[in-house]
Each structure stands twice: as C-alpha cells, then as structure tokens.
Amino acid sequence: MIVVTGAAGFIASCLVTRLNEANFNDIVVVDNFSIAKKENNLKGKKIKEYVDRMEFFSWLEKNYEEVEFIFHLGARTDTTEFNKDIFDLLNLNYSKQMWNACCEYQIPLVYASSAATYGSGKLGYDDDETIIPLLHPLNPYGDSKNDFDKWVLEQTAKPFFWAGLKFFNVYGPNEYHKGRMASVVLHAFKQIQETGKLKLFRSHNPDFKDGEQMRDFIYVKDVVEVCYFLMQNRKHSGIYNLGSGKARTFLDLAFQTFQAMGREAEIDFVDTPSDIRDTYQYFTEANMQKLRDAGYDKPFHTLEEGVQDYVKHYLLEGKYF
C-alpha cells in the first residue's frame, strides 16, 4: 500500500492519479474529508482506503507491515494565516510524528516543504542543507516548513530513504477549492472569464516594474512526476528544490492565459493587499541541480506548455486530473 496524506487537496490528488496511471491502486488516502468542495479531487480514482488524518497513526500502528511508501503532502498552506498554533499542530508536530513513525516502522518518506522557507531570498535559492538553519521565512507558514526541515536535519534516527521537497509556485488542475491560495493562473482564468480583463499586483519595489515580479512557476504534473521518480529511486535522501528552474514574470503568465483562452490581453494593476505587502516575494528561482544530480532527467514543462495544457484541457472544460 502507498499512503498519501492531504490526498483530497491539490498536489496530492494529482499524485494519486499519477500512481493510478502506473497501476498502483492500493492507495490509502489520508485527509480531513469533511470539506465538500474537495470531493471531486478524488472522484473516480482507484483508492483502497480513506483514513481521517487524526486517526492515521492508530491506523498505521495496525497496518504498517503492508505500507510500502508514504507521501506526506498534507499541511495547512494558508500564507495569510498568522495563528502559529495551527501551524505547530498541523505542519510541525504532525510531521514530526510522521517522521518518527517512518523511522520506527522503516517506511520510506517523501514530505512537502516549501520555497516559502527561503523568505526574501537574501541567501539565494540553493537547496544546500547547510543554509537551512540560516533562513528567515516571511510568515508563520514558511516558518513551520523551515522549522520541520531544521528538525529533520538534527535527527540521528532517519527512515532508510527520505526526501523533503521545497515546492515553488505550483499551478495546475485540482486546485478549484483553494480560494485565495489558488495559483495566479486560476485567478487569472476566472477574472478573464468574468470581466474580460485581468488585475495584477502593482510593484511596490523600485527594482521591479509592474507585472515584472518573477516567480518559479512549476506545473503540477512535473511535481508528481518527481514524486513518482523518488518512490522508484530510493537512493539519495535529502531536501530538494522542486521548481522549473526558470523564473518568469507575472506578465508572461498573464499573456499565456489570455492566449490559451483565445482572448486579447487587457491588464490593470492594483495595489498589493496591505496584509501581504511586507512579506511579498519579488523573485524566486529554484536551483535544480541537486535533483538532476540525483538522476532526475525529464524536462519540465515550460510556462507556455503548462498554462496551455491547464487552461485548454482542464479549466475551459471544468475537468479534474
């Protein structure tokens, strides 16, 4: 059996599809299944068992001998949430419990970290584990992910294979439920569909023109492909970046979305909301050499390829992956 936590969410539900495509059908999905707007993310997938996240460790104690691999992708991911207690509970302490269980039962583990750990990017975006204790994330979400990475690196007990993945700006199908935390592509699509126009955040940084803030946007299909690779190649444990390796502007993304929808581009700029303005990242770009050195050799979707696929095959048709 393969366990996927956060399975009703965006990235994890896409991973379940990828595993099914490879004929892995004994999937145990773990989540809080009371959120109705996530239900379609798992509809039609081959799943062995549904386990509530708060009952998972009791379940694992009884079933660990049958578990081949755990993908721990469940987390509170709201970067505008400032209640540290929520992150301590769901991100930090739950993940420590997961790590300890994988050590005890010797189950290989891939877990979700985040590019939010890099903060302002002052120290760059290299997944060199020696800089992790020096990083200063910009919000409690980033802190919770970095705190767990730091804790992991301090442990003497480790699963025989483990990997932490610092997800950069992931976009793609199955994020309909995410609201404000959805990708810019989904927000752009909805705005263009409703108004024919798109609003982007104005730059409040003199080094960047409006719309030229840059992010490393990575298509979710690439993310789950890397997860699948790590499950199949359990050789090089460590913390890895997971982005496309190429920063692109929000204007690039906007123009691609208009084009995929067959619309003329019409863009207005609005002030970045005050509650996130001081913690806003103006540039992110993953150094992907470490993953390449570990043997991952597939190309990543370009922004053009990813946006075209997402808009034409999912958003315009209202489909799930």
* Bind-site residues for NADP(+): 10-11, 31-32, 38, 53, 73-77, 145, 170, 178
Please report, in range form, the residues annotated as the binding site: 10-11, 31-32, 38, 53, 73-77, 145, 169-170, 178, 180, 187, 201-204, 215, 280
- In whole angstroms, what is the distance from residue 251 CA to residue 266 CA? 11
Catalytic sites, residue numbers: 141, 178
Please report, in range form, the residues annotated as the binding site for substrate: 169, 180, 187, 201-204, 215, 280
Residue 25 vs residues 21, 29, 231, 296: alpha-carbon distances, Å: 9, 11, 15, 24
**How far, rounded to the nearest angstrom, does the alpha carbon of residue 224 sit from its chain's CA centroid?**
10
Residue pair 71/229 in contact (Cβ under 8 Å)? The answer is no
Show the tokens assigned to 29: 């999905």
**How far, rounded to the nearest angstrom, does the alpha carbon of residue 230 sit from its chain's CA centroid?**
16
Residue pair 91/137 in contact (Cβ under 8 Å)? The answer is no
Q: Which helix (H) or strand (E) holds 219?
A: strand 217-219
Q: Are strands 248-249 and 214-215 parallel, antiparallel or unpaired?
A: antiparallel
